[in-house]
Amino acid sequence: MPMSEKGNAAADWKVGVDIGGTFIDFCALETHSGRMASLKVLTTPDDPGAELMTGLSLLAEREGLDPIAVSRFVHGTTVGMNTVIQRKGASLALFTNAGFEDVIELARLRMPETYSLFCSRPDQLVSRDRVFGIPARMRSDGSEAAPPDLASVADAVAAARAKGVAGIVVSFLHAWRDDGHERRVKAEVARLAPDLFVFTSAEVWPVIREYERTTTAILNGYVHPRISGYLTALEERLAARGVPATPLLTKSNGGVMNAAEGKRSCVKMLLSGAASGVIGAAWLARQAGEDRILTLDIGGTSADFALIVDGQPQFGTGEMIGEFPLHIPSVAVSSIGIGGGSIASVDEQAILRVGPESAGSTPGPACYGRGGERATVTDAMVVCGWLGHSAMAYGQLQMDPAQARAAVGRLAARTGRSVEATAQAILDVAISELFVEVEKMASRAGVDLRDFALMPFGGGGPMLGALLARELGLRRMLAPRRPGVVSALGGLVADLRGDFIRTLFRPLSPAVLPDLREAVAQMAEEGRAWLAEQGHRGPVDLLLHADMRYAGQSYEIETSLDADWLARGDLDAIAGRFHATHARLYDFFDEKGHIEIVNLRLSALGAGPSLAFPQAEEIDGEALAERSIAVHVDGALAQVGLYRRADLVPGQRFAGPAVVAQEDTTLAIPPGTQVRVDRHLNLQLTFPE
């Protein structure tokens, strides 16, 4: 239908976009009518961003989206993460204290795999010959022992230039206490080499522990040129299409920021896609009245897991970006290289393995008919009969079962199994890998997964979600209406969120109260200023946390605090919250133990748009399958019902085994599962005891 017929001059569109390894997802909401449009477009690895323009054109053609009517445009991308994983970032030099040139080589003196005799530590993003020591020393109390030797800075700049670096990272001891030395060296570098970009560790994230602070600053510099160039091109393309909205970017902390800050603080968006998926899932969970959710986001390359407790995502630091830890606040997400495009192979010992190598979008799984010849998880689903009964990705892909069987058959010939048995084995291995990682995450978080409902999303989440839930012993699963675009939805509903930190490293005692109050006041002022810079004019919410530990412990745990406790000096309340948090995580606490506050953290939030999707009354009744299809279920051929998601209405029920097909994904439902459609058009799955 032409835009003139479907469009509306008074329309107001809010658009969320998330770019994955195989597809770019769109979630667009016209706020006046409540109409939601979604779309998937295959990515273009050779021309990042081109698929964005393709998607906007398709939304205009199919849904009447007028670019001029876009008032909010939120964008999540994997450009930064992929830059690190593929090691295609900028060539950097590191300036640090003389005598501490091995700071990133020494790291924490731990091997990646503690019990493996064959593992090796990854090559650093800054090679040792590009690390330069500058005579300078700041004491831990912030007093100066020796000023920076500017002659050494000049020599280091000349040597770095000779190495062909594009930028310099400056990270000195105790910059969390006083970053004066870093600022002086940065100013000197800017004077001597204005063509090189420079970042200091304190301006990126001023946290105690030089290794963590240094690696975070290096990650920021490493991805800076590619992200900055990508965002500049994004702004130009949107402007050329007539989109008036200033693009916002999803951040690792689950919030959003404007593109101008994204170009400077690139490290804050390295986990943007994974984080926005969890934010979208949390929003959907709250709409459905669910407060404890295990999320499962499976794309073409990887699977991400996270916990939602009391309707809110969980946060942490130390998330891994490829082989490197990221020490800024992030939505706590665990990942594994298992996705719909993960390639199955047989090793020299004839052991079947799945992932982490992925077929991506080009050539993609064999069943896509785009030139892929190696069997993937998606091909195994087709061979077993779960997939292949309708077009995928909004009509852009038609499954080719013959190609899938041929690819899986080549593996079957090596394993001595039938094609169907090999396909089932691929799924079993993939589920087993997912099971192990989810159990690890649950153990770290100290939770019983039986108290949680699974929410699968992404293109591959619904394919494998119910099969995984059954193995985990979960009782329920919530399948959202449009699971393929939950990450894009997360960008639509996300708040502006800025994080601020002060390292105190003080015992919890009355003597520290003035410093705590001063730190909170300073960070609150910074937070409000940051939100104003982002264009926020509404109310501001301030969330306060502290990294605390018992004296003698090596690492801290994040503890939520109430600002009123500081105002009235209620140290017992602060200590009590820490004891309770410690007990929840480790099942014990020491009521008489001395407590230290290492870091004080503040998050400043500006609420995102208030969105609501239409609801419908539930009408109890049995859903009718479109037809019966043959599926290999648990090693045996069975006839199962095929349901169309668009035909299901609130209140309808049916039982597994079943397949639910829709435009953005396919839901596989194992035997014995009871399914009900709720008033939000979610599918509520209940598994047998």
Q: What is the pLDDT of residues 260-319, one digit of tens each?
A: 899 888 889 888 878 889 999 999 999 999 999 999 999 888 888 999 999 889 887 767
Q: Which segment of 111-115, 178-182, 192-196 scores lowest on mean pLDDT?
A: 111-115
Three-class SS state of 159? helix
Domains and CATH numbers, the chain: 3-83+246-260 (3.30.420.40), 87-227 (3.40.50), 272-339+448-487 (3.30.420), 496-606 (3.30.1490), 621-686 (no CATH)
273, 330, 369, 487, 617 from 254: Cα distances, Å:
9, 7, 36, 11, 32
269 phi, psi to nearest 5 deg:
-115, 15
User: Greater confidence, 34 or 496?
Assistant: 496
pLDDT digits (tens, 9 = 90+) for 431-476: 999 999 999 889 888 889 999 999 999 889 999 999 999 999 999 9
- The reply to whether omega before 401 is within 30° of 0 (cis) is no
Q: Which segment of 84-88, 212-216, 587-591, 643-647 scores lowest on mean pLDDT?
A: 84-88
Q: Which residues pair with 543 in a beta bridge?
A: 603
pLDDT digits (tens, 9 = 90+) for 508-564: 999 999 999 999 999 999 999 999 999 898 899 999 999 999 998 988 999 999 999
Backbone torsion region of residue 569, taken as left when φ is above 0, otherwise alpha when ψ lies between -120 and 50, otherwise beta: left
The pTM of the full predicted model, rounded to 2 decimals, is 0.85
First to last CA, the chain: 49
* Residue 485 predicted with pLDDT over 50: yes
Give dist(CA 671, CA 415) in Å, integer.
Answer: 28
The predicted structure's pLDDT at residue 5: 36
What is the pLDDT averaged over residues 72-92? 85
**E-strand stretches of 213-351:** 248-250, 256-258, 292-298, 303-309, 312-313, 315-316, 319-321, 324-326, 330-331, 334-336, 342-346
27 phi, psi to nearest 5 deg:
-135, 110
Q: Which helix (H) or strand (E) holds 672?
A: none
Give dist(CA 639, CA 188) in Å, integer.
Answer: 73
The predicted structure's pLDDT at residue 52: 84
**What letter represents residue 360's amino acid?**
G
Q: What is the DSSP string of 466-506?
A: HHHHHHHT-SEEEE-SSGGGHHHHHHHHPPEEEEEEEEEEE
- For 390, counting Cβ atoms within 10 Å of its Cβ (0-12 exposed, 13-18 middle, 19+ buried), the class is middle
User: Greater confidence, 659 or 372?
Assistant: 659
* Residue 6 predicted with pLDDT over 70: no
**Which candidate, 623, 308, 656, 302, places its Cα nearest to that of 455?**
308
Three-class SS state of 461? helix
Using an 8 Å Cβ cutoff, are 618 and 601 in contact?
no
* Residue 643 predicted with pLDDT over 90: yes
* Residue 23 predicted with pLDDT over 70: yes
What is the pLDDT averaged over residues 576-591? 92
What is the pLDDT averaged over residues 103-122? 76
* Residue 397 predicted with pLDDT over 80: no
What is the pLDDT averaged over residues 30-47? 80
